[in-house]
């Protein structure tokens, strides 16, 4: 009995060894196949990342159609609907006028004094423009649409209608003509002709996916800049064009490198502009250069005022969103870093590298946006960026207060009966101070795109505002007192 | 003794061993497993993650004198293959499960290997300096200043 029980024990043990070995080998075979399949997938990804299932052309506006060929890019593009706040900005449509009521006074008499909401993501650009009180309560031209809708096709079609010959060789002539037609239309009319916010076609050539700029405002602006002597070390193709004898026109689409185009496609819209003349042509004031005082000099030369300040009567300027201009003054531009490097950094999906089309603040994606170059911890990078922005915000507040001081001084002098002649110098100072303050405030980086330049501009704003206050005191002094020995 | 009583079961296990060995060998070959025993920089690009590093290296000052392994693995035989095995494991795990940090960053342990290799070649110039490789508090990191030698200038 004893020996037979030992025998059955041994037998039971042996069976278990078989079972365990079988299971282990089965699992091993399974894992080897799963691993094999994974490697097959990665290898396939590496060989082909684009599979054209539909044909896209210059006439394909709907990004969903492009998305069938480029699903990865399209997926991230769609994420621009996301709403997220950063310390100083983000993509939530908060009302600046409520957050900082000083701006109600600074913009007194202008559409921005009624509605100044923070921009949301790209996906909302057309909707938000249709809804802003600056458009619903004020009469605006079709010019606004250049940068709030996918208008390339509209321009081409309107250009063809206006008699520009068809064909690829007349591509730009069609765009420029259509642009002229649409800019002077009433906004409400023009808005009926578009349906999509910025789409694939606005930055990419449908034939080969190359980056391509097509907004007439930008094409004209960058050519004017190229013709000037403003140094552009951050845009070497312009310097090269100048060195080669400035033949014909600077052509960003053929002259610029891909890396430059990775900024230029953004600079089609993220810039300072004004509507020129009766035709309301969107014009980038770069004839003299990209710096705040060069743009101001251009506006002074053409005699442009955005509006007359309601409280002080000064002819003042509104800065738009001069991100390209400010970036151009900074260390990142100088080091050859493009907009897309930080705002659309490369991401990996398996073995495929794609640029993230969820355009947003790098502060929301520090690892991919910054760490490719800056090999320190995310926490450290974020802390450094916030330090720059907090300093800028502090200077900005001081400049706002200085400008309010000047506005108060002019208003008080007006009440006391000061003449226009007496207030001319002070109003000129207000124009200068306000332009500089707004240039930094309207720019979407809270100084980060060029911290030193932003600080310089704000220092000038503060100085001009205080000089203006001195001018009020000096110029409105009673002549009797002045004559007293 | 018991196996003799169950010849079919024995056969099944032996056969399964063969199948598993075959599958593993095939997967290993398909994945160019043998290339990882070589010094060929192309091997480091098999998984496509290192493409930027490879491209940068080709344009860097060191591309004519040092390949990936010359800087990134110890020079003597056993530590070299131990290092390959360890890093290979982490790389395979990361790439298979797609759970690695982007952008990829060198680990402190491998920074020490790099430092030793800088010194190994440039000994004649730097032997007066004790660079404390491997001691993060004391290490005088060559790459802190000479960051561009391996992979070229950073954008």
The pLDDT tens digits of the residues spanning A280-312 come to 999 999 999 999 999 999 999 999 999 999 999
- Tell me what percent of the residues of chain A surpass a pLDDT of 90: 75
Nearest-neighbour CA in chain B from A207: distance (Å): 27
Query: Is the previous residue joined to A484 through a cis bond, with omega within 30 degrees of 0?
Result: no
d(CA A208, CA A211): 9
Nearest-neighbour CA in chain B from A241: distance (Å): 23
Mean pLDDT of A127-139: 89
d(CA B63, CA B45): 15
The DSSP H or E segment spanning A332 is helix A331-334
B11 contact A CB<8A: no
Asked if A109 and A71 count as a contact pair (C-beta separation under 8 A), the reply is: no
Please check the confidence at residue A202 and state whether its pLDDT lies above 60.
Answer: yes
B37 contact A CB<8A: no
Mutate to test the interface with A, among B6, B13, B15, B23 (most CBs of A within 10 A): B23
pLDDT of residue A1: 45
Nearest CA in chain A to B144: A375
Mutate to test the interface with B, among A35, A45, A332, A340 (most CBs of B within 10 A): A35
Residue A118 carries which DSSP code?
P
B85 contact A CB<8A: no
> In chain B, which residues have their Cβ closer than 8 Å to the Cβ of A372?
103, 154-155
Nearest-neighbour CA in chain A from B106: distance (Å): 10
Positive/negative CA dihedral, A284, A324, A359, A353: positive
Please check the confidence at residue A133 and state whether its pLDDT lies above 70.
Answer: yes
* Residue A240: partners with Cβ closer than 8 Å, 6 or more residues away: A255
Answer whether A29 sits within 8 Å of B95, measured CB to CB.
no
Mutate to test the interface with B, among A32, A47, A340 (most CBs of B within 10 A): A32
Please check the confidence at residue B2 and state whether its pLDDT lies above 80.
Answer: no
A29 contact B CB<8A: yes
Please check the confidence at residue A134 and state whether its pLDDT lies above 80.
Answer: yes
> In chain A, which residues have their Cβ closer than 8 Å to the Cβ of B101?
367
Cα Rg of chain A (Å, integer): 30
Note the pLDDT tens digit of each residue in A396-446: 999 999 999 999 999 999 999 999 999 999 999 999 999 999 999 999 999
Give CATH superfamily name and number for B37-151.
Di-heme elbow motif domain (1.10.3820.10)
In the numeric block, the tokens 């501009």 are attached to A457
A34 contact B CB<8A: no
Note the pLDDT tens digit of each residue in A70-122: 999 999 999 988 888 888 887 888 888 998 999 999 999 999 999 998 888 89
pLDDT of residue B123: 87
Please check the confidence at residue A146 and state whether its pLDDT lies above 50.
Answer: yes
pLDDT of residue A58: 83
Q: Give residue A336's region: left, alpha or beta (phi > 0; psi -120 to 50).
A: left
> In chain A, which residues have their Cβ closer than 8 Å to the Cβ of B27?
32-33, 35-36, 39
Nearest Cα to Cα of residue A42 among B88, B52, B98: B98
Q: What b-and-e string marks burial along A418-439, b requiring 16 or more CB atoms within 10 Å of the CB?
A: beeebbebbbbbbbbbbbbbbb
Asked if A232 and A238 count as a contact pair (C-beta separation under 8 A), the reply is: yes
Number of H helices, E strands in chain A: 23, 6
> In chain A, which residues have their Cβ closer than 8 Å to the Cβ of B103?
367-368, 371-372
pLDDT of residue B148: 87
Nearest-neighbour CA in chain A from B83: distance (Å): 23
A401 contact B CB<8A: no
pLDDT of residue A160: 95
Asked if A269 and A148 count as a contact pair (C-beta separation under 8 A), the reply is: no
> In chain B, which residues have their Cβ closer than 8 Å to the Cβ of A29?
16, 19-20, 23
A18 contact B CB<8A: yes
* Residue A253: partners with Cβ closer than 8 Å, 6 or more residues away: A212, A213, A261
Answer whether B98 sits within 8 Å of A350, measured CB to CB.
yes
Mean pLDDT of A197-219: 94
Please check the confidence at residue A2 and state whether its pLDDT lies above 70.
Answer: no
Nearest CB to B101 within list A18, A367, A373: A367
Please state, rounded to an integer, the average pLDDT across all residues of chain A: 92
Scan residues 311-340 of A and list those with Cβ closer than 8 Å to B: 335-337
Q: In angstroms, how far is CA A283 from the centroid of its own chain?
A: 17
Nearest-neighbour CA in chain A from B143: distance (Å): 12
A21 contact B CB<8A: yes
d(CA A287, CA A302): 11
Nearest CB to A36 within list B13, B16, B27: B27
| Phi and psi torsions of A86, nearest 5° | -110, 180
| Bridge-based pairing state of the strands A315-316 and A346-349 | unpaired
Tokens at A36, concatenated: 């094999």
Residue A352 carries which DSSP code?
E
pLDDT of residue A6: 58
Asked if A234 and A256 count as a contact pair (C-beta separation under 8 A), the reply is: no
A33 contact B CB<8A: yes
d(CA A280, CA A130): 18
Long-range contacts of residues B129-138, Cβ cutoff 8 Å, at least 24 apart? B134/B109, B136/B108
What size, in residues, is chain B?
155
Answer whether A28 sits within 8 Å of B24, measured CB to CB.
yes
Asked if A289 and A283 count as a contact pair (C-beta separation under 8 A), the reply is: no
Q: What is the ipTM of this complex?
A: 0.73
B105 contact A CB<8A: yes
> In chain B, which residues have their Cβ closer than 8 Å to the Cβ of A14?
2-3
Note the pLDDT tens digit of each residue in A319-365: 999 999 999 999 999 999 999 999 999 988 887 888 999 999 999 99
Please check the confidence at residue A482 and state whether its pLDDT lies above 50.
Answer: no
pLDDT band at B135 (very low <50, low <70, confident <90, very high): confident
Mean pLDDT of B110-135: 85
Answer whether B49 sits within 8 Å of A348, measured CB to CB.
yes
Nearest Cα to Cα of residue A258 among A215, A201, A210: A210
Answer whether B30 sits within 8 Å of A39, measured CB to CB.
yes
Answer whether A46 sits within 8 Å of B48, measured CB to CB.
yes
B13 contact A CB<8A: yes
A387 contact B CB<8A: no
Query: Could you give the angle at which helices A292-302 and A420-442 cross, rounded to 10 degrees?
Result: 140
Tokens at A426, concatenated: 């002070």
Asked if A429 and A407 count as a contact pair (C-beta separation under 8 A), the reply is: no
Residue spans of the domains in chain B: they are 1-30, 37-151
């Amino acid at each position: 009995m004893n020996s037979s029980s030992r025998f059955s024990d041994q037998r039971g043990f042996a069976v278990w060894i078989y079972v365990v070995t079988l299971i282990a080998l089965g699992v091993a075979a399974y894992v080897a196949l799963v691993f094999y399949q994974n490697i097959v997938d990665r290898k396939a990804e590496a060989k082909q990342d684009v599979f054209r299932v539909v044909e896209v052309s210059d006439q394909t506006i709907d990004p969903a159609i492009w998305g069938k060929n480029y699903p990865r890019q399209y997926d991230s593009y769609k994420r621009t609907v996301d709403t997220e706040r950063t310390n100083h900005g983000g993509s939530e449509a908060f009302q600046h006028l409520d957050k900082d009521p000083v701006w109600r006074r600074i913009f007194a008499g202008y559409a921005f004094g009624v509605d100044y909401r923070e921009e949301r993501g790209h996906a909302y650009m057309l909707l938000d423009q249709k809804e802003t009180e600056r458009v619903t309560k004020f009469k605006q031209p079709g010019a606004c649409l250049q940068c709030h809708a996918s208008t390339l096709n509209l321009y081409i079609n309107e250009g063809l209608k206006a008699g520009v010959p068809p064909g690829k060789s007349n591509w730009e002539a069609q765009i420029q003509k259509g642009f002229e037609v649409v800019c002077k239309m009433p906004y409400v009319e023009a808005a009926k002709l578009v349906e999509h916010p910025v789409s694939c076609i606005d930055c990419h050539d449908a034939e080969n996916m190359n980056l391509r700029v097509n907004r007439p405002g930008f094409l004209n602006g960058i050519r004017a800049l190229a013709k000037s002597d403003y140094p552009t070390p951050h845009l070497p193709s312009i310097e090269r064009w100048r060195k080669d004898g400035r033949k014909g026109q600077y052509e960003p689409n053929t002259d610029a490198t891909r890396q430059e185009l990775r900024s230029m496609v953004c600079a089609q819209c993220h810039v300072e502009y004004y509507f020129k003349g009766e035709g309301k042509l969107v014009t980038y004031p770069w004839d003299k250069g990209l710096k705040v005082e060069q743009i101001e000099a251009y506006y002074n030369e053409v005699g442009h005022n955005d509006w007359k300040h309601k409280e002080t009567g000064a002819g003042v300027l509104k800065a738009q969103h001069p991100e390209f201009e400010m970036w151009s003054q900074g260390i990142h531009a100088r080091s050859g870093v493009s907009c897309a490097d930080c705002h659309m950094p490369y991401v990996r999906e398996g073995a495929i590298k794609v640029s993230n089309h969820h355009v947003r603040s790098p502060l929301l994606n520090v690892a991919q946006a910054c760490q490719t170059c800056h090999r320190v911890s995310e926490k450290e990078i974020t802390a450094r960026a916030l330090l720059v922005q907090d300093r800028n915000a502090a200077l900005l507040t001081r400049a706002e207060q200085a400008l309010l001081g000047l506005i108060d001084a002019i208003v008080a002098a007006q009440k006391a009966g000061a003449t226009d002649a007496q207030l001319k110098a002070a109003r000129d100072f207000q124009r200068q101070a306000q332009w500089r303050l707004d240039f930094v405030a309207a720019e979407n980086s809270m100084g980060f795109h060029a911290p030193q330049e932003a600080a310089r501009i704000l220092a000038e704003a503060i100085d001009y505002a205080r000089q203006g206050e001195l001018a009020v005191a000096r110029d409105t002094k009673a002549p009797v007192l002045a004559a007293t020995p | 003794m018991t196996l003799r009583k169950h010849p079919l079961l024995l056969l099944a296990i032996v056969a399964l061993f063969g199948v598993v060995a075959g599958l593993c060998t095939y997967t290993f070959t398909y994945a160019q497993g043998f290339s990882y025993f070589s010094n060929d920089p192309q091997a480091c690009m098999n998984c496509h993650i290192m493409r930027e590093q490879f491209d940068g290296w080709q344009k860097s000052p060191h591309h004519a004198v040092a390949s990936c392994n010359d800087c990134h693995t110890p020079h003597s035989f056993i530590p070299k293959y131990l290092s390959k095995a360890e890093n290979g494991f982490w790389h395979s795990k990361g790439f298979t499960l797609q759970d690695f940090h982007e952008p990829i960053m060198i680990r402190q342990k491998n920074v020490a290997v790099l430092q030793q290799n800088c010194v190994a070649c440039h000994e004649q110039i730097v032997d007066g300096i004790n660079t404390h490789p491997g001691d993060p508090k004391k290490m005088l990191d060559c790459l802190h200043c000479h960051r561009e030698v391996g992979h070229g200038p950073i954008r």
